[in-house]
Amino acid sequence: MKQVINILLCASLLAAMASCGQKSAGKDSAGVKEDTAAKKMLQGIWLDGDDEDNVVFRVKGDTIYYPDSTSQPVYFYIAGDTLVMKGANTTKYPIIKQAAHIFQFKVLNGDIMKLVKTDDTSYLQQFLHNQPVVLNQNTLIKRDSVVYAGDEKLHLYVQVNPTTYKVFKSSYNDDGVEVDNVYYDNIVNVNIYRGASKIFGRDFRKEDFDGQVPHEFLKQAILSDIVLKKVDTDGLHYRVVLAMPDSSVSYQVEIIISLEGKMTIKKS
């Protein structure tokens, strides 16, 4: 432990002597000074100390990269005895021990993550994916149907359009470290016609439902679909599905569109 304390003290002195114009010697938004010597020591590929066939992450520059293609690279810095990762959320991990080939820190469940650095460059093959794999299907969906509201014949169109709008979902990997997975949201177009006359037409985005869905859920959710439920004297009732990616959790919201084209949104 004394050796670790000496390492951290030396790292702090080196950080204080670093060039003031360098980003790595700067301060975070809270004014905490970064330990550039500790960051330099962390560069390289790190394996699970209890299972050295398991690659945990690679550190290059000010970024941590994960071997699985769904976890987003994350910016990090070390301040004092804390590893700080700044992804969708800012997460802090107390450092227990750091040396040239040893790094130990406490993850959020209280376990100690014990890592060892490898000099085996063959492990670089695990980081060659060019971009994260998008787990949703990016599928264009088109539906058209005919319904009757009393004696009126209505033609309905719904189109689910994939977008390039990124949605980040934070989760914990098998090592207890928070990672960000990336998905892409949809825009859903709804049109209602009476003969050749359009009585309603609109593009829906998930932000249209921020009054019905908790903000923290909506931030990580995908606008999955809008489906007709029923037609009655109030008009056409659509079910909106806002889904958490890779989860059975979702919120359902109801859109009611009257035969005059007036829209009401409420919790389902």
Q: φ, ψ for residue 190 (rounded to 5)?
A: -120, 130
Assess if residue 240 is contained within a domain.
Answer: yes
Q: What is the domain range of residue 87?
A: 2-127
Asked if 237 contacts 217 with a C-beta cutoff of 8 angstroms, the reply is no
Assess if residue 135 is contained within a domain.
Answer: no
Count the domains in the chain. Answer: 2
pLDDT level of residue 91 (50, 70, 90 thresholds): very high
Structure-block tokens of residue 168: 């980040």
Asked if 160 contacts 140 with a C-beta cutoff of 8 angstroms, the reply is yes
Per DSSP, 11 falls in state H
Per DSSP, 87 falls in state S
- Are 152 and 103 found together in one domain? no
Assess if residue 80 is contained within a domain.
Answer: yes
Give yes or no for residue 130 having a pLDDT over 60: no
Q: Find the CATH number of the domain harbouring 16.
A: 2.40.128
- Are 69 and 113 found together in one domain? yes
pLDDT of 95-123, one tens digit each?
999 999 999 999 988 899 999 999 988 88
Assess if residue 28 is contained within a domain.
Answer: yes
Q: Find the CATH number of the domain harbouring 149.
A: 2.40.128.510
Structure-block tokens of residue 185: 């949201």
Asked if 80 contacts 92 with a C-beta cutoff of 8 angstroms, the reply is no
Asked if 220 contacts 250 with a C-beta cutoff of 8 angstroms, the reply is no
Q: Which of 78, 96, 127 is the last residue of a domain?
A: 127
The three-class DSSP label of residue 16 is: helix
Give the per-residue pLDDT at 12.
34
Give the CA distances from residue 237 to residues 18, 156, 191, 227, in Å, rounded to whole numbers and listed in that order: 64, 12, 13, 9
Assess if residue 136 is contained within a domain.
Answer: no
Q: If residue 230 lies in a helix (H) or strand (E), which one and from where to where?
A: strand 222-232
Q: Which of 127, 149, 172 is the last residue of a domain?
A: 127
- Are 233 and 160 found together in one domain? yes
The three-class DSSP label of residue 171 is: strand
Give yes or no for residue 149 having a pLDDT over 60: yes
Q: If residue 58 lies in a helix (H) or strand (E), which one and from where to where?
A: strand 51-60
Structure-block tokens of residue 74: 């994350």
- Are 190 and 240 found together in one domain? yes
Q: What percent of the chain has pLDDT over 90?
A: 53
